[in-house]
Structure 1
Amino acid sequence: MVLEKYGFKDIYEGTLYPLLSRMEKKNLISCRIGKSPLGPKRKYYSITEDGQKYYEDFKSVFQEMTINTNKIINAKEL
């Protein structure tokens, strides 16, 4: 799985596919079913325009949260 190379070793299909389903219902991603060179048909996901906007907003909020968290971690006194 591609996520493993980024350090996500404990993510399983039972975790990932419900998340993808929720994202599809919110129009953040779209799904198409296509042929697979390795057997049965597969689902292929793409980010939508709404999903790209959500991602940019999320990334901004997450970066700010990371900066503030690091300030707390590196503080001499609390």
Structure 2
Amino acid sequence: MVLEAAVCSHGVALGWDYYVRDSIKRGDLQPLPIPTQSSDYQEYLVVNPQSTNRESVEKMIEWLLALAKQTRLSLDVTI
């Protein structure tokens, strides 16, 4: 349901690679244009390209990236 909402331009979807892979290949979803991180954990942030520059979207991205970094630090995971 979250992926369907993102495909319909209703927001951001977070999903594991095996959930979003086909949608990205078809062009229904776009991966966020940020450098990829390598770890035992995989996170992808997918944003509608038309929404990337919206302040609310930028704040959400910043919050998610900070949360991911904090989580990695608390688990002592190096990137």
TM category, shorter: 0.3 to 0.5
Q: Which has the higher strand share?
A: 1
TM-score w.r.t. length of structure 1: 0.36
Q: Which has the larger helix fraction?
A: 1
- Name the larger-Rg structure: 1
TM-score (norm 2): 0.36
